[in-house]
A and B are shown apart, each in its own frame.
Chain A
């Protein structure tokens, strides 16, 4: 008769009462707490200096997708599942393009303006459907970018299929790199911090059970609109940023890539922690660059990884790693 074993998980000793209170007694333990957040930041700040030019570009798009993924993750934790991050991205991109092309504003004005205006515009667009939940909201967001793309293609509005070209570039590639990396870190830590405040708690509660939040006398539609504005601003910033990196904005800004890849990143990385979404982007985007040779098949791979992860590992990579890092695991015999 073989003895049955089960896996036992124990929290590490320094963890007291909850996930974020620690009793630290040595440098080793301080390191243990600090490394997971300090190491990635340090690496991200050094990377731009040592990467070859091609991979610098990859780092830029990775960071952009990480922000888009975090914004998606944020909206999901407020109970709004968006299948169209491309909407926010494209609106920001086109706004920056228009501000530059028609109003000739300098670059340090176009990006902030496009960020705020883009967030506002998207919020206004989506306010009529804020009452919708779940799939209905998702469907509306799925349709909007497709529709805007068609309108631009058909009417020739905003440069039509040609797009707006000859926009102002950044002064140097290091400006681009550090701006986007800083923005990404800012979004990451700001959103994480915000979600642990009371405000974030209410936002999360809307996702868990919006009825009970309503019965607490809180106007959830106003809060949802605020969340939409914040999420929209982050994506619009990415759009505006990429417009100036490419010195061009056109219909590709509303492409399905910008909707699907963030979702895939968040799902692969693990939802709800924001660090997971970032990790997911840092796995998927460089991977897809390495797979550039297969062209259109990349979207197929994202789509399939999306399905496979959501079916097989719904918690995502980050939660898995986090568990391994924070807990002991050992096999113990099952008592009879």
Chain B
């Protein structure tokens, strides 16, 4: 029992990290809110489903295509909605949340729920670790999640674009004086975040059916991870994912599954009350929160 919880807790944590990476890239690393994140996640899932089942495109091509299209959509969201609202944080939130809501509720209206709305797994089969069966898809998730987290760290610390992302969050005007085109960088950041959301969707959604409500859960979980980890820190995202992931798994197995969803909220409340800047947060501590 404990072993199963530990192993699945690990996988759950990686899933959380995977979900949060894209959101953290946009929201905490470059300081642009994209509350349509959960919707983009679900949208990418349905996109792959449409490509594979209705247009009979091979899965690998469909996956790549949907990542690119979602990223393009993110760029469009920035160009046509966010660009006009930069700096008005509340308007950014409401406008992007409105877009996300429209996407999610549109899929709810279409009524695409049920067992046929699943994505194919990458490879079928399972392995034994100790006494626990783990299917290949979860191993894929762990592999991809780890490499993406490492990749994101390297990207934001050692590439020009990545450094520019962090720069515009720290001080947009100073970034401007150093020749960073802040509008373009913020747009790229939203696009990258959307692309990561699509990647996460393709990896994670094959575990079950595609459900509209998961879009809200994804947003809430991603937010929780970013708040707990602290703004602008990749290590914080990983640490927070593991804390939340294990906390969720332990509540799941000892208190029952319906308490699982409450864990992120309680975590948000606790962290905001005790340490408002998050575990690893450095920037914008005072300005944003208190």
Contact = CB atoms under 8 A, between A and B. Distances in A.
Interface residues of A, number: 42
A239 to B, nearest CB: 21
B268 A139 contact: yes
Lowest 6 CB-CB distances: which A-B pairs, in order?
A154-B258, A296-B109, A306-B98, A303-B101, A303-B102, A307-B98
Interface string A248-278: 0000000010001001100100000000000
Contacts of A154: 256-259
Interface of B: 33, 80-81, 84-85, 89-91, 93-95, 97-102, 105-106, 108-109, 216, 220, 223, 227, 256-259, 261-262, 264-265, 268-269, 272-273, 276, 288-290
A296 B90 contact: no
Contacts of A142: 220
A83 B94 CA distance: 8
A7 interface: no
22 contacts: A132-B276, A133-B290, A134-B90, A135-B90, A136-B289, A139-B227, A139-B268, A143-B223, A143-B268, A146-B216, A147-B262, A151-B262, A153-B258, A263-B94, A297-B105, A303-B100, A303-B101, A307-B81, A307-B95, A310-B94, A311-B84, A314-B91
B37 to A, nearest CB: 12
Given A307-B102, A310-B85, A296 B108 contact: yes
A131 B276 CA distance: 9
Nearest to B256: A154
A147 B216 CA distance: 11
Interface string A288-326: 000000011101101110110011001000000000000
Given A131-B276, A140-B269, A155 B89 contact: no
Contacts of B98: 264, 303-304, 306-307, 310
Nearest to A308: B98
B223 A139 contact: yes
A264 B95 CA distance: 10
B258 A132 contact: no
A304 to B, nearest CB: 5
Contact of A300 (B95, B102, B257): B102
**Which of A83, A139, A263 has its CB near the most chain B CB atoms (within 10 A)?**
A139
B105 A129 contact: no
Contacts of A76: 90
A299 B101 contact: yes
Interface of A: 76, 81, 83, 128-129, 131-136, 138-140, 142-144, 146-147, 150-151, 153-155, 256, 260, 263-264, 267, 295-297, 299-300, 302-304, 306-307, 310-311, 314
A302 to B, nearest CB: 8
Nearest to B287: A133
Given A147-B262, A304-B98, A311-B85, A138 B105 contact: no
Contacts of B84: 311
Contact of A299 (B89, B95, B105): B105
Contacts of B90: 76, 81, 134-135, 138
Given A139-B268, A304-B98, 10 more contacts: A129-B272, A129-B273, A133-B289, A133-B290, A142-B220, A151-B258, A297-B109, A300-B109, A303-B105, A311-B85
Nearest to B270: A128
Given A307-B95, A307-B102, A136 B261 contact: no
A304 B96 CA distance: 10
**Which of B90, B91, B269 has its CB near the most chain A CB atoms (within 10 A)?**
B90
A150 B262 contact: yes
Contacts of B256: 154
Contacts of A295: 109
Given A307-B99, A310-B85, A311-B95, A128 B269 contact: yes
A295 B105 CA distance: 11
A303 B215 CA distance: 15
Given A150-B258, A150-B261, A307-B81, A135 B93 contact: yes
Given A132-B272, A134-B90, A143-B265, A306 B109 contact: no
Contact of A304 (B102, B220, B223, B272): B102
B93 A136 contact: no
